[in-house]
Every structure is written in structure tokens, then in C-alpha cells.
Structure 1
Amino acid sequence: MNNNKDNTEIILLSDPSECLMHPFYHKQIVFTGALSTMTRSEAVKRVRACGGILQGAITQDTDFLILGDKRRGISSKQLKAEKLISLGQDIQIIIEDDFMWLISMKNE
């Protein structure tokens, strides 16, 4: 804190954007289908670097389902996620291009 000549306190706050978390931070993430841009193990490392938590299967705790570009039709994971969404669960289904954009975001 600084005091100015009027003897009132001036409080300097940090930039609020510095407090933003990555969208994957503390979120449960599941992959389905092969990725065309990286291996699954590389994708897992990138998600963990963003603070995400990997799951092997869709559950009520899942936050994101990532659809790889090299998938054949609709997977059982996607069907289960869509069913849970229809029952009111908040699961985001995103395609690989959107996943790539999200992991490219600066992790603050």
C-alpha cells in the first residue's frame, strides 16, 4: 500500500487476468479415437501440464470428452457421454481441433 499526499491509502491490485486458470484445470478428461496431430501419450502429458485429470472411461464426473480426428463413427464413449448429457450432466464434447486450441492456451 502507498500513501498519497491526501493521507488516503491507495491499494494496488494485481492484474485480475493473472488469476485465470486453464479450462482443463482440475477437470476430468476422456479421449476417444486416435488423434491426428499427436500421440495419445503426448496428449495426456499436455492435459496434465494444464492441470487436467485423465480418465479412461466416461462417468458422471467427466467434464470433457475429446474426439480424435481418426475415429470410426460414434464410439461407445461418445454414446455414453451423449446419454449423460441428455440426463442433465455437464459434459463438453470437443473435436480435436478445439482441443489443440485449448492446450495451446497459456497456462497461468
Structure 2
Amino acid sequence: MTNSDINFLSDLSESLVHPFYHKYIVFTGALSTMTRSKATKHINACGGIVQGAVTSKTDFVILGNKHRGTSTKQLKAEQLIDLGVDIQIIVEDDFLWLISIPTKPQI
């Protein structure tokens, strides 16, 4: 291997991209750990965009722990998934884990 085969990053933050960065996110059901407003602030801080309704642009649907049965938003997401749209349906605990991922390296 020669030096020309090695890539050096001058800024580590360039290599770190949050899973919600530039992704469209929809909440359904009440969150048990925070308000929808606070959850939206977390999404925005990660570079994501909160939507009010599920569309073919949606990347994630987050199911609040207080959801009762299957919501119309979840049904719409499942229909789009069946049509080949890449939407991930995740539960609130997974959402909390994802927003805990640092958006910048810790120094």
C-alpha cells in the first residue's frame, strides 16, 4: 500500500451522518417519554424533517408507546411498504436510542 491509497479525513464530523439526517419522520400515537414538540426538536437537531402525514417521501414512522391498536398512519406506511416504498416503522424505545447517537464527535 502506498500513501496514495490512504485517505485522511481533516474533519471527523464529515464522516459522521446521523440516521435521521435529511430523513422524513412521522410520529403516530402518544410518546410516553416526551411531548411531540420536544421529539420534533430532537429530530430537527439530528437534521431530520418531521411530517404530519405518511407519504411516499416518509423514511421513518415512529410508534409512540401509548398507541392504541394500529393507527391510520401506520396502516398507510404498511400499504406503501407493500408497494415497495422504503419506510421503516420503529417503536419509541428505538427512537430514543437513535436520538441518543451524537450528531458530532465528542472531543
RMSD, matched Cα:
2.2
Q: Report the secondary structure of 1:81's partner residue.
A: helix
CA apart distance, 1:20: 1.8
Moved over 4 A (4+): 8-12
Q: Which amino acid aligns with 1:38?
A: M
* Distance change in 2, residues 1:16/1:90 (3 Å): farther
Of 9, 13, 19, which residue of structure 1 is paired with 2:8? 13
- Mapping for residues 66-105 of structure 1, pairs under 5 Å: 66-105=62-101
Q: How many residues align?
A: 101
1:22-77 Cα offsets, whole Å, 9 max, x none, are: 00000000000000011110000000000000100000000000000001100000
* Distance change in 2, residues 1:105/1:56 (3 Å): same
Where does the alignment leave 5 or more consecutive residues of structure 2 unmatched?
A: none
Larger radius of gyration: 1
TM-score, scaled relative to structure 1:
0.86
Percent of matched pairs sharing the same residue: 65
